[in-house]
Structure formats: structure tokens, C-alpha cells
A and B are shown apart, each in its own frame.
Chain A
Amino acid sequence: MSTEALTSSEYIKHHLQNLTYGKLPGSDHWQLAHTAQEAKEMGFWAFNLDTLGVSLVLGALFLFMFRLAAKRISSDSKSMPSGLQNFVEWIVEFIDTSVRGSFSGKNPLVAPLALTIFVWILLMNLMDLIPVDWVPQLAHLAGLPFFKVVPSTDPNATFGMAIAVFFLVIYYSIKMKGVGGFVGELTLQPFGKLGLPANIFLEGVNLVAKPVSLALRLFGNMYAGEMIFILIALMFGGGLGVGLFGGVLQWGWAVFHILIVTLQAFIFMTLTIVYLDMAHQEHH
């Protein structure tokens, strides 16, 4: 538990609050929000520094690692690969197989996109396995009011990526089928010209559901997982017996969570590939 005497509800709320940086209404300078209320009042033009920071660091770590392996593999492809290189090659082969299996078109963007999505989301999700009190406690020592270390429990992050994917889907739909083809797909299916309003409604829902389901699935899973970790962490304040039981529960949930973490990253990636594949096909 935090050093200050908090109620359970306050503890949970504290752990679910992002470190928000923005302008309070009526004030003209940028500052950190010190309460959830302040963060809310900052409105749209505010940034969750923890989400952005952690995801940037993780993304940079991913690219650094893979770039290093890429350099090594192309500088001496004759010698035996080892360690990091093997790991990277294994993931790349895995992604390559997935993309080949699900994506029928030809687009040099899709495979690197899938790789980035998979590894980046996996790393972000893995932050969930850090005990929930560690990072907020460290942030507290550093003078920061909040710090949520798992970017994928922030809907901003998941929607940010899902919307990026959504733009790619629309871009490639229009590029492959032309504006007319894309609009036609939205308006002339599945009932023909006479059912135009119904078509627009159905296809519109279909289209919008893609990014929303992508983002909410990842967010929901990770948020729920984080919530359970926090609830378990509450037990540590309940005496030795309950605390030990909580420790066992936390271990068990963490093990189970490794599966969820990987699975969610994989699902996000696979769905992205499938959506892009649909965008490349004339009729779906």
C-alpha cells in the first residue's frame, strides 16, 4: 500500500490514474494534474506522460534490439546466429508465417507493421507483470503524483493504435479500389441500390466496429488484468495470512497473465492483418 493512509477505493483510484500533463481551465501554464478531478478538467489537450513515456521507451527498446540484430545478421550472415539474433529471427519468422497465412495481397508494409504491433504491444502488456506498487511508489519518491506503467491499460494508447490501423485500412481500401469502389462497398452492399440507407448503416457499423473492437478488446483485457492485480495487492494490507494468500494469488494470476499478454498482442496483430487483407480484396 502507499505510504499515506488510503482507503481501498482511493488506493484503486490512485493506481488507475494516469500522470496527466496539461492546462487547467482558467490557468495558462502547463502543469501536472494532481487529482483525477484536475486531470479530467484538462480536457482533450493534455498528455498522459506515463503512457507516452513508457510506450516510447518500449518501442525504442524494440527497435533498438531488432535493429541491432538486423545489423549483426546482415554484417556476418556466414557465422552461426546466437542469443538475441536467434530470438529476433524466431519472432520475425513467426510474424512472416502469420502474415503469409492471412494476407493474400502484396504489400511491403504489412509484415513490418505486424511485427511492430506484436512486439510493441507485447512489451507494453508485459509491464503488467511488474508488481503494481513498485512503479507508483518510485514515482512517489520522485515527486510524481501518479504513474500507470502499463500503456495498454490506457484507452488512449489502444485507441491510438487502433485508429492508426483504421487509417491504414481506409487508405488501402481507397488505394486498391478507388474512391468509387470504396464508397460503393459502403453503399451498394449487401442489399443493392434500393437498400442504400440500410447498406450504409450496416457497412458503416462494420467499418467502425473494426477499430473500436481492436482497441476495446486489448484495453478491456489489460485493464481487467491490472484491476485484479490491484485487488490482490489490497490483500497485502490484511495481515500475514491474507497477505501470504494474496502472494500466492498474485503469482498464479501473473502466470496466467503471461498467456493473456501474449494472446492479446497476437490477436491485435492478426486482426490488423485480416483487416488490411480485406482492404486489399475487391469483395469480402
Chain B
Amino acid sequence: MNINATLLGQSITFFVFVWFCMKFVWPPIMQALGERKKQIADGLAAGERGKHELELASKRAAEHLHDAKQKAVDIIAQADKRAAQLVEEAKGTAKVEGDRMIAGAQASIAQETVRAKETLRGQVAGLAVAGAEKILRREIDAKAHADLLDAIKNEL
């Protein structure tokens, strides 16, 4: 309990400890703590930024998807239209061709008919003449009544 030189020793020790602490302990710890604080803040900020970018990207992706769908719908509609057009065109062409073929067939039928009629007429005239000849052979000379026969022939 006596006050003695321990007092001085303690004061000196105290100053030495404080000096050491001030020189070698406090600054590096504070610096490291500050750096870590900054690192964490940076990390959080980067995370926030990443989240934001992700949001933007997903929004962009959705837009792209929407565009693509729209485009696909457009393309399909166009294709449908084109197909319908093609079918119409083909129909038209087919109809014209068909008409043309029908007309050709009708023309050739008419021609055939005329020709057949001609032939038939000739044959009927021949048959009539032959029949008349047979009937008239006895009474009529072919030569004498030639003008008459011709007239009949023409009337047939």
C-alpha cells in the first residue's frame, strides 16, 4: 500500500504500451476493417447491379420473344395468303385450259359431224340412186334422166 517507484514504472510501461498500440496495432486493424467495409459495400452494389441487369435482360428477352412470335404469325398469314392466291391462280388457269379443251373438242366434234353428214348424204344419195335405179331400171334410162337425178341429189 506504499506509494513508491512502481508508480513511475507503471507510467512508463503505460506510455510504451500505448505507443506500441498506436504504431503497430490500431492502424492496420482499422485499415483492414475499412477495406473490408468497402469490399462488402462494393460486393453488395455489384450484386444489386447484377440483379438490375438480369431484370433488364429478361425484359429484353421477353420483348425479343414477343417480336419473334409476332413475326411468325405474320409469316404464317402471308404464306396462307400466298397459298390461297396460288390456288386461285391455278383454278383460273385450269378453267381456261378446260374451256379451251372443251371448245377444241366441240369444234372437232362439229367437224366430224359435218364430215359424217357429208359422207352419209353421199351414201344416202348413192343408196337412193341405187334404189331408184333398181326400181326404175326397167323403165328409166339413167342417161335420159340424169338431170333429174342430179336435182334430187342436190336436194338431199
Residues on A lying within 8 angstroms of B by beta carbon are 16-18, 20, 22, 39-40, 42-48, 51-52, 55-56, 59, 62-63, 66-67, 69-71, 73-74, 77-78, 88-89, 92-93, 96, 108-109, 111-113, 115-116, 120, 151, 154-157, 159-161, 163-164, 167
Q: Contact: A20 with B2, CB < 8 Å?
A: yes
Q: Decide yes or no: A67 and B4 within 8 Å by CB, A77-B35, A89-B33 being known contacts.
A: no
Residues in B neighbouring A93, C-beta threshold 8 A:
33
Q: Decide yes or no: A70 and B25 within 8 Å by CB, A77-B36, A112-B18 being known contacts.
A: yes
Residues in A neighbouring B26, C-beta threshold 8 A:
92, 111-112, 115
Q: Contact: B25 with A42, CB < 8 Å?
A: no
Per-position 1/0 for B1-45, Cβ under 8 A of A? 111111111110111011011101110111111011001000000
Cα distance A40–B22 in the bound complex, in angstroms: 37
In which size bucket is the chain B interface?
20 to 34
Partner of B2, one of A39, A115, A120, A167: A39
Partner of A115, one of B1, B21, B28, B31: B21
Residues in A neighbouring B29, C-beta threshold 8 A:
66, 69-70, 73-74, 88-89, 92
Residues in B neighbouring A45, C-beta threshold 8 A:
4-5
Total A-B residue pairs with C-beta atoms closer than 8 Å?
A: 135
What 20 new A-B contacts, CB under 8 Å, besides A52-B6, A67-B20? A17-B1, A43-B4, A47-B5, A48-B6, A51-B10, A59-B17, A70-B25, A71-B28, A73-B32, A74-B28, A89-B33, A93-B33, A115-B21, A116-B14, A116-B17, A151-B10, A156-B7, A160-B6, A161-B11, A164-B10
Cα distance A155–B31 in the bound complex, in angstroms: 37
Q: Chain A binding site: helix, strand, loop or mixed by DSSP?
A: helix
Residues in A neighbouring B22, C-beta threshold 8 A:
108-109, 112-113
Partner of B4, one of A46, A59, A92, A115: A46
Q: How many Å from the CB of B7 to the closest CB on chain A?
A: 5
Residues in A neighbouring B24, C-beta threshold 8 A:
63, 67, 70
Q: Which of A22, A55, A112 has the most CB of B within 10 A?
A: A112
Q: Contact: B4 with A155, CB < 8 Å?
A: no
Q: Can you spell out 25 A-B residue pairs with CB atoms less than 8 angstroms apart?
A: A18-B2, A18-B6, A42-B4, A47-B6, A52-B10, A59-B13, A63-B17, A63-B20, A63-B21, A66-B29, A73-B29, A77-B36, A77-B39, A78-B39, A88-B29, A112-B21, A116-B17, A151-B10, A154-B6, A155-B3, A159-B10, A160-B9, A160-B13, A164-B11, A164-B15
